[in-house]
Amino acid sequence: MTRNIVWHQTSVKKTERQKQLKQKSCVLWFTGLSGSGKSTLANALDHQLFKQGNSSYVLDGDNIRHGLNKDLGFTDADRNENIRRIGEVSKLFVDAGTIVSTAFISPFQKDRDTVRALFEQGEFIEIYVNCSLEECEKRDVKGLYKKARAGEISHFTGISSPYEKPDAPELVIETDNLSVDEAVQTILTYLKEKQILF
Ligand SMILES: Nc1ncnc2c1ncn2[C@@H]1O[C@H](COP(=O)(O)OS(=O)(=O)O)[C@@H](OP(=O)(O)O)[C@H]1O
Ligand SMILES: Nc1ncnc2c1ncn2[C@@H]1O[C@H](COP(=O)(O)OP(=O)(O)O)[C@@H](O)[C@H]1O
């Protein structure tokens, strides 16, 4: 409901913030199965950007579900709402001039496309963290796959809930084959090519 609500123009523009921060802002939208490497890569990249003096921040599924989205579970409808909210929060970060990395499974193409539509051309960078279910299950970082196989967790992505691979991601990172450092370099190169970093 947006009745009786009028948009208030801010006096400092996004472009002015970007100029002060000496970078373009964007969202790096990491998507992939649980255990594929989203958090690891988002954090490694954030660390590198921080060291370089860039303004960067990570929004991570597990953490956001402790606070902002603690009312949401893992039904399709709850995942839709989870991603919708994170899309809106990411937009605020981008408006603030920051490079924001999000680490959410975000299993549905439609939800990712809806978030993409919130942004200007080039601001939404979808990164498919591609790792086989077999390898994710072998890693089983949090023991959740074991529980899902035992029927102790319902709607588990890849087991009892779908994961739709991105149709046309800006980047694909194969964490089966690439080291964390190589992946970070690949993303940094992309950001330089697109003149987000200079
Ligand atoms: N049913 C089920 N399915 C998938 N994942 C589950 C589930 N239950 C709990 N978890 C843990 O929650 C993390 C995924 O949360 P997300 O917010 O990224 O999910 S989603 O984007 O809304 O699909 C996910 O974190 P990651 O492993 O970092 O992806 C899991 O640790
Ligand atoms: N190339 C790689 N990139 C990212 N993670 C990797 C890679 N190789 C192995 N891993 C390991 O895989 C696990 C990925 O876990 P995590 O980052 O929490 O995944 P997700 O956030 O997608 O659930 C970590 O234990 C990490 O050390």
Can you tell me which atom of ligand 2 is nearest the CA of 142? 18
What is the tens place of the pLDDT at every residue in 123-159? Answer: 999 999 999 999 999 999 999 999 999 999 999 999 9
Segment 22-27 mean pLDDT: 98
To the question of whether residue 67 is assigned a binding role by annotation, the answer is no
Whole-angstrom Cα distance, residue 20 to residue 96? 11
Q: Helix, strand, coil: what percent of the chain each, to 5?
A: 40, 15, 45
Segment 46-54 mean pLDDT: 98
Segment 17-41 mean pLDDT: 98
Check if 139 has its Cβ closer than 6 Å to any atom of ligand 2.
yes
CB-based contact 122:180 (threshold 8 Å):
no
Where is average pLDDT lowest: 3-7, 28-32, 163-167, 183-187?
3-7
Q: Give the residue carrying structure tokens 């590198």.
A: 48
Check if 155 has its Cβ closer than 6 Å to any atom of ligand 1.
yes
To the question of whether residue 34 is assigned a binding role by annotation, the answer is yes
The answer regarding whether domain 19-193 maps to CATH 2.40.160.100 reads no
Q: CB under 8 Å to 140, separation ≥6 — which residues?
A: 35, 146
Check if 87 has its Cβ closer than 6 Å to any atom of ligand 1.
no
Name the residue of 28, 33, 40 whose CB sits within 8 Å of the most ligand 2 atoms, as the mutation to test its pocket: 40
* Orientation angle between helical segments 76-95 and 14-21, nearest 10 degrees: 70
Q: What percent of the chain has pLDDT over 90?
A: 95
Whole-angstrom Cα distance, residue 180 to residue 177? 10
Strand 124-130 and strand 99-103: pairing?
A: unpaired
Can you tell me which atom of ligand 2 is nearest the CA of 32? 22
Closest CA to 197 of 59, 56, 91, 57: 56
Confidence label for 3 from pLDDT (cuts 50, 70 and 90): confident
CB-based contact 122:163 (threshold 8 Å):
no
Whole-angstrom Cα distance, residue 190 to residue 175? 17
Confidence label for 2 from pLDDT (cuts 50, 70 and 90): low
Question: Across the chain, what does the average pLDDT equal?
Answer: 97
Check if 12 has its Cβ closer than 6 Å to any atom of ligand 2.
no
CB atoms within 10 A of CB 110: 9
Instruction: Calculate how far, in angstroms, residue 160's C-alpha sits from the geometric centre of ligand 2.
Output: 21
The pLDDT score that the predictor gives to residue 1 is 61
